[in-house]
Chains A and B, each alone.
Chain A
Amino acid sequence: MNWQADKELRRLVDGMLDGSLGRAQVARLEERIEGDPRAMDYYLDLAGQEVLLADLLGGFESEAPLVRPWWRKAGMSWTAAAAAVVALSFALWKSENPVQRTAEEAAWARLSSGMATTVSKRSLSDGSLLGHDAGLLEFGPGLAEVVHDSGARLLIEGPAGYEVTGPNSGRLKFGTLVAQIPRGAEGYVVEWADGRVVDLGTEFVINVPHNHGPAEVGVFRGEVRVHPDGAPDAAGAPLYTGHAVRMAGESTTRMRSIPFDQDRFIRNMPSRELPWFFQGGGLPMEWDISHLVWSEGELLAVFKWMNGPDALALARVELLLDGVVVAVDAHDCSVGDPASTLGNVYRLAIPAASWRKGKWQLRAWPVTGGIGTRSEGILMVENGSALAAGAEDFMGAWDYVHDGKRYRRMFHRDGTCTLWVDDQPSDYFLDAHWEVVGGILKVNFPASRVSEEHLLRDRESLLFINQPYRNARRAE
């Protein structure tokens, strides 16, 4: 019969790996390990497994950001998209007529999405091309995503200053940059004032303090070469998965190994769409939105029903900073039945004096539901461009898919709108008119008191506020 670890050994080994054992328990574990080679192998198996799991799962591809650059077709992973970009770049490079390259072809990178305010002299928005003339891009507090033509994807946390210096290189003046380098884009180089990092196929972070403090480099997975200025080693020092260094002029290698606090860094553009699951009762629902709140101003919390037999009724939504309520919008809301979805947009103002980095939460107080009540949906958290959108921003054609059918809705300048289903015109919008009120587009139907409502997350993404449809993309 196979040997199996007993309860005590399992508990001791788990505790050792989690760092929760006391002195007496460690002594007991030592006894068990010394007394039985199978117990020792059991311990070594799990200790090894623990670190290998971190390696194998450290580079997992998390859910792709919902806001994709236009060239990322639905269903493509970002690595695949990056590979496509690399192939495209190569094709352009091989072009027979390089002199007549378009601005797009000449660009080295693209600002693909962001929550950070751009404070550069040049006005930038999602999709802006970044070539040799882009100069230093300065970002205010928030996140910005820059994708180089090589496929290297950078998530920059502001305040930050970054300059695109080539198709696969850049300079970080200050701030934090997390780089994800797909296959085919190895060799991405990022410089800072007194050093540079050469990537060898990896995900890494570089943090350059604004106050000229020492830069730090850490590797989430893969390998980089760090080249501090003045270091004797021309080949650069290798840095591997899970490791970090801080530049240290007094050291012979010009750097020192430091603990890598991976939680400090944001590695993916956070989703603005947070799930909710309502199962009755009057307890509040809460969401951590720390990575979505970067400045003072108005924040929209939009509740959208997706599934479930019952409607969700809310009475009040609060915005909290480190557990303290800083903004409240109290009004009745019901989401569930599209024909009766009312009041599902909550507006919360963050006063200038209240904004700072911290734990930001949204808390929604449901009206008590009956036993067995259940529904589920998403909470969309929007600010910035979503609230500033005017009629011009909404105009044009928008594509989406629902239940296997392809839809295109078009908002015309004269206030009318049209709908196509699988390329066939539909009379659904006959007699309907649209208007924009407070950043929200309302499609009004003469025979119905309920409008269909939309928000614009960015230039390319149209959200449905009270319909359970996926976001629509601007038609090319």
Chain B
Amino acid sequence: MQPEPQPPQHGSFQPFRTIPADGKRPSDADVTFSEDIRAIQAALKEYVSGLLGWQDGVEDLVQETNLFLWERRIEFEPGTNFRAWAMRVAWFKVMAERRDRARSGRVVFSEEIISRLAARAEERMEETDGRLRALKRCLEFTRVQDRRLLEWKYGRRENLTDLAAGRGISPGSLHKTISRLRLVLRHCVEKQLKEESSI
């Protein structure tokens, strides 16, 4: 039996729930399109994150993709695969970013490996919502001090070196803790997904 469908995590609100300040009611097509974009945010982020590697810039790239999709919404044919179109746009954005990074001397994945990662990431996309649900549950099981550290790193985006200095410990030790937490959470997510699928 499949688990109960959950409300989407990315914005439990409804777009256009309130009438815009200009009083103009958005078209039904715009509302639907906006919901489509919102519904793929987690998958889009996972996809871009996997291709770029270094987290710096992932969210900017996703936003550029969102804006591009929105500006070109008239070109989208209802009934065709919106997700595939969005991922294609994201792919081009990633490649452009890769080119810029390489030009500025930063280390990047090769085009070939990005292609392979993209193919595999697309296959995994159907499970994004499950992974997100599981991760949320796993965070609830996290020890208080670990949760606090995760909030500092991912929620407040604090610099680990500064954070280590504030706690009187070495940055290396904090990096090790983060590495351990990554593994613990991954393991927990795997376990949750297995349990879900065995129900």
Interface residue ranges, A against B (CB under 8 Å): 5, 10, 14, 16-19, 21-23, 26, 30, 33-34, 37, 40-60, 62, 169, 183, 186-187, 189, 191, 196, 198, 200-202, 222-223, 225, 227, 233-245, 253, 257-260, 262-263, 288
CB pair B131 A44 closer than 8 Å: no
- Contact status of A244 and B189, CB under 8 A, knowing A26-B107, A50-B49, A253-B71: no
With A14-B182, A201-B13 known as contacts, the answer to whether A57 contacts B49 (CB < 8 A) is: no
Q: Determine if B22 and A257 form an interchain contact, defined as CB atoms under 8 angstroms apart.
A: no
Chain A nearest CB from B81 CB (Å) reads 21
Residues of B near any A CB (own CB < 8 A): 9-22, 24, 26-27, 30, 34, 37-38, 41-42, 45-46, 48-50, 53-60, 62-64, 66-67, 70-71, 107-110, 113, 116-117, 120-121, 124, 128, 131-132, 135-136, 139, 150-151, 154-155, 157, 166, 175, 178-179, 182-183, 185-186, 189
Q: Whose C-beta in chain A lies nearest to the C-beta of B14?
A: A200
> Closest approach, in angstroms, between the C-beta of A243 and any C-beta of chain B?
3
B59: chain A residues within 8 A (beta carbon): 51, 54, 241-243, 260
Q: Contact between B150 and A26 (Cβ–Cβ < 8 Å)?
A: no
A57 surroundings in chain B (CB, below 8 A): 139, 150-151, 154-155
Tell me the bound Cα distance from A340 to B190 in angstroms.
57
- Chain A contact residues: helix, strand, loop or mixed: mixed
Q: Enumerate chain A residues within 8 angstroms of B14, measured Cβ to Cβ.
A: 200
Q: How far is the CB of B82 from chain A (nearest CB, A)?
A: 15
User: Given A55-B10, A235-B30, A14–B179 Cβ distance below 8 Å?
Assistant: yes
Chain A residues in 8 Å Cβ range of B24: 234
Which one of B58, B108, B121, B175 lies within 8 Å of A44 (CB-CB)?
Answer: B121
Known pairs A49-B185, A51-B46, A60-B155; A259 contacts B117 (CB<8 A): no
Known A40-B116, A49-B135, A259-B57: A222·B13 in contact at CB below 8 Å: yes
Tell me if A196 and B135 are in contact (CB < 8 A). Answer: no
Residues of B within 8 A of A257 (CB): 60, 63-64, 67
Does more than half of chain B's interface fall in helix, strand or loop, or is it mixed?
A: helix
Q: Is the CB of B109 within 8 A of A60?
A: no
Some 19 contacts from A to B, beta carbons below 8 A apart, are A17-B55, A18-B175, A26-B53, A40-B120, A50-B49, A55-B10, A57-B150, A57-B151, A191-B21, A200-B14, A201-B13, A223-B11, A223-B38, A234-B24, A235-B30, A243-B60, A257-B60, A259-B57, A259-B60
B37 and chain A: residue at smallest CB distance = A238
Taking a contact as CB atoms closer than 8 A, the residue among B38, B70, B157, B189 that contacts A263 in the complex is B157
Name the CB-closest residue of B to A222.
B11
Distance, CA A17 to CA B131, complexed state (A):
19
Residues of B within 8 A of A55 (CB): 9-10, 42, 45
A14 cross-chain contacts in B, Cβ below 8 A: 175, 178-179, 182
Cα separation A50 to B136 with both chains bound (whole Å): 13
Check A53 against B135 for contact (C-beta < 8 Å): yes
Chain A nearest CB from B171 CB (Å) reads: 11
| Chain A residues whose C-beta falls within 8 Å of the C-beta of B21 in the assembled complex | 169, 189, 191, 196, 198, 227
Q: Are B54 and A262 in contact (CB under 8 A)?
A: no
B107 and A21 within 8 A (CB): yes
- Within the complex, the shortest CB–CB distance from A59 to chain B, in Å, comes to 8
When A49-B182, A227-B22, A240-B62 are in contact, do A30 and B49 touch as well, CB less than 8 Å?
no
Chain B nearest CB from A29 CB (Å) reads 8
